[in-house]
Structures are given as C-alpha cells and as structure tokens.
Structure 1
C-alpha cells in the first residue's frame, strides 16, 4: 500500500494497524541539533488519546511514545527519527460480527474492493487510531517551528452536530473534553448524552490556526501552501470539507470588501484570505476550518451487503467515538504544523538568502 508518506523535506511515513502490536512513524528530514525527548512529544499525545472522557471511545490506551532512532544524547542527529506507540488495549473480538459485512459510511467496502483483503479489527489501517503517530510527528515539527520562528498552533471545536458553539476565549479550550472555546459546555454535554443514548453519532466543525508564520512559505501553482493544507486535512479520517480563511462565505463577498488591505510595515487590515495569497503565506495567521462527518460505527441498524453480495443488516458494537470531531483538534493542529514545517524547510533551501526590503 503506497500513500503513507506525507511531506517533501520533512517527510513522515506512518505505519501500523489499529489492533496490531504497535503503530508509529518515521520522520525523515528533521534538522539536527534540536533538543528532543519523549517529554516533548507526550503532552500532545495525551491531548488526543482515547478514554479521556465518557464522550469518546473508552478504549484505554496510554499512548506512551518511544524514540527508537534519530536522537543522540538528547539532540536530533539529522537522521530518521522513528517514533513507536504500542497498542495495549485491543478487543478484536468486538469486530467478529463484521468480518464478512461492510459498515455503511466506513472504508470496509472500498478497502476490500481495492486490495481484495482487509483487516476488520478496529478498521485496521483505516482506523483513526493511526492519527496518534501524526500527532507525535506534529509535536516534533511544532517544537522546531516555535524555536525557530515563534510559530504556535491552536484549535477548537466550533460546532457539534446541529449545535453551534460560540467563542468565549482560547483559555477555555483546555478545560473541557470537547476542546470548546466556551466556559459553559453543559449544552454540549446534554447533546452528546442524548446521542449516546440513541446509539447514534454526529459530525463536527473545527477551527485550527497558526500564528507567527513566516512570510513566503508555499510554492506557486501545484505546491501552494493552501493546497497542501487542504491535502493534509483531507487526509484525516472522516474529513469531508476544508476552508481556508472565509472559505465558502467568500462567494457572497464583494471584491471591495474581501481583498485584505495592505498597510505600511507589511500589516493587513483584515484576514479574509486566511493568511495565504497566491498559495504563499502572507505572514498573517493561517486560518483553517474543517468539516467532519458522523462516526460510521454506530448501534443503529443499517442496510448493507456481505462479501457474497447478499443484503444484510449491520449493527456495530464495540468502543467508538460518537463524534470523532471531539478528539480531532490536536490532530488538526499537528497536520497544520507538518505542512508549515515542510514548507519552512523548502523555503529555507531555495529562498533563504533572498533580501526583503519591506
């Protein structure tokens, strides 16, 4: 299976299956000389890991990361960094009922048609479990970018199902299991409790942003920064839509309003374009919004077929997120960091000596 490596100069190869012995990634291209230990990575994995509240899957994985290579005496060496996360709480028997059937909305059918074989245990390679190595790699990128440019990343949930979430402030995001930027999450709790009781699932909308992004990241035409951001976000399980800046709302804008006025000193009066102009970063905050579809594994009976093509009714038991968007915020932050990191290295390689009079 190809397509498991993301990035050009900062390349991350993801490996493993949901119910295999371990998952992980290999990072190739990390600059040498950066202090790095498991303690730099673990906090991000702890934000994403399952079992942290009753509103997410109760699979209890510690998600302890191990650095197997690429670090010597506490510093990156410039050689490939291998990060390993062992699976310790698999319950493969939960998937015995779907070995010969396909869950509607899941990758079961397409994997089987493409490869002729599939791993039904937790979705195998198509499981959101494989986002943990992405978060680990993103932590490495975030550390380098913060030290080099002061770049920071943060995200939040802005809608769950039909319920829109307001914005009271970023300080609230870390204080609730939904990564919601509001002080009172009781309405979200009530909504999720009703959903869990019904055995159903819902989608979500999330926002992720990067601040202190250098000007000039991104390549014209095919390797635009926004194009690579969209590709990265669409590579996350269940993502069905990505917006940069004002996104689809831009359709209703007039050009006289939408174009961000440029002020002396390279400042901007607004940020409708989400920090990207012509596929190249403008120095403004990168603003990205993502739409995530409802979880496919639910207790509600649905029509499907089996491997013989016969009609069946599918009910999915086991431990699943009623809304995969709840744990998506740290993953989206990591994906944005990986894109910015890769383009920062590419920009440094080609245009590092370009003088900027403005």
Structure 2
C-alpha cells in the first residue's frame, strides 16, 4: 500500500478536489499504447485511402526529376523553382494524411483523461531534472512495467511482422518483375496489410496498458485519512470557527428579533415557558404577523421588553403554544388560528381605544383552537 513521506498509508480514494487539482497540474490518465494503436490504424486507413494520390505524386516527381534539362541543373534559381514545384506537389499529396494523423493523435490521447491543457505541466521544474529521481523512475516499479511492456510489444509485433514477411515472400520477390506503377501500388498494399496486422497486435498491448494506467493514476492520487480530514477542514471551514460564526448569527438574529418586539400589538404567553409577539395592521390586507417568539429565557426577555414599552401581555397558554409551534418569525398566522387571534386582537384594540378597562379582561381559556394546532 502506498505511503506518504510521514509513513501514513494512502488508503483513501481521491476526492473530487484532489482530482481537479491534479488535472490542473496535468496529471490525468493517459495510455501511450492506446494512442499508438489508433495512430497505426489511422496511418493504414490514410495510406489505403490516399495511396492513389501519393503514388501519382511520386510518379510525377520521379518522371520530372529524371528528365530535368541540363541548363536547369546548372542554374541555381531555375533549379530552386523546379524543386519548389515538386515539393508543393508532394505536400498536396501528404497533407491530408498529416491532418488525419494529427486529429487522431489528439482524439486518441483524450479518450481516457479527456481534453486537458495545463501550463503547469510544461513549466520547467528543478525536480524534473533531478537525476536521482530519474534513476528511480527507470529502476523503479514503473520502469520495470514499461520494460515488460516494451519487450511484450517487440515480441508480439516482431513475430507478426516476421510471419507476414515469410508468408508474403513470393509476392515480395515478384515485385522486381512487375512494371513500375503496378509494382509500387502492389508494395503499398503489402505495407498496408502488414501495418494492419501489427496494429491488431497492439490491441493486446493496449488492453493491458489501459487498465494499468487507470489503476496507476488512481494509486498516485490516493490520500491518507489525515489528508482527507485536512481537505474537508479547508473546504468546509474550521468546525470551531463555524461554531463561532453560527453563534454570532444567532446573536444577530436575536437582537433583530428583540428590536421588533416594541412594534408588537400584543404578547401572548404560557405564561413562563413561551412568549409570542403579534402585530396586526387593520388597514392592511394580510393576517396578523408573528414578530418574535421564544421559550424560557428568551420568552422572559420578550416579556421584559414588552413591559418596558408598555405592550399588553396576555396569558393564554393553549394559544401561545399553538402559535409558537406552527408559525415562524415573520410569517402570518395560519387560517386555523384566525378566530382565536381575532378575539385577542379585538380586546387589545378595544383596550387601546378605551372602550374596555384592563381590569375587565375576558376569560380566553376556551378559545377555539383546532386539534392540529393544539400542543
């Protein structure tokens, strides 16, 4: 099992952040053997498809160069113009093949790790030029595996190439007896078939190399349990700091809520365990709103603020519990509690207008509270 410099086992799978950082550094899964396989296949397809144009271009070049006039050979400017035309003719025949090879190289290399360009990977680093690290790569596990793959490729591809040459020896010998254009076309066909068989051998090597490269890259990205904890801490924040932030947020919310209590029309209590502050705008179109609520010490603070601002406090335990558990701060009273709250507010507004005396508070112990709101 892999270990880091502190001797801890890298037993944890890499996180998404670790994978993202490795991609930025250019560390992605790549298989040279897979790229080689597709490059061979593309070269074969290109030779087969563009062979006619290439043969015509080569034939024209050979015909023109074997019939160059003497004056041209001894005149540098004329000779340059002559070969410039021949070079242009050859490039026109080879450029499609080159384009095919470039596209294949780009797409095949991106099959495993996807498209990824990293400036960090091409930056010169002293560690990359360290000869000791280079020797470790050569004589280490990866170097041994690369050596085994190279030997395997040579054995498989060499055996197939030798077998093909042996099987096609009569055709190869017969090329010397064929006329030039036909012999050239025939030789191109033989080369294409040999490349095809060799590339088929590369399938075996690629099937071995691809899983190994995926496993090797994942192994290099493995993390220790401490690294996972540190990353989680850095990503999510220090738990102690997060706790202090949450505490501060609660304090700010509490201050804001207490600042809204003086705006309330009435405080309904349990009387000591719960307290809720309600506000109602008779000219508005909405239902009464709960400005604040609290239990125990918070309820006591709400009552103290209410007394300081001479806000009416009514002890109605069933209604205070119903509102406390069913309404959030800033929300309207639910429809099921409209009747009960309306009776309380009606008394409060009569009290403010002087229509009733505070000493004649009606008995509100039996307010209509639906079963689903009773606590």
Verify same fold: TM over 0.5: no
Which TM-score band applies after superposition, normalised by the shorter structure?
Answer: under 0.3
Quick check: which one's strand share is greater? 1
TM, length-normalised to structure 2: 0.20
TM, length-normalised to structure 1: 0.21
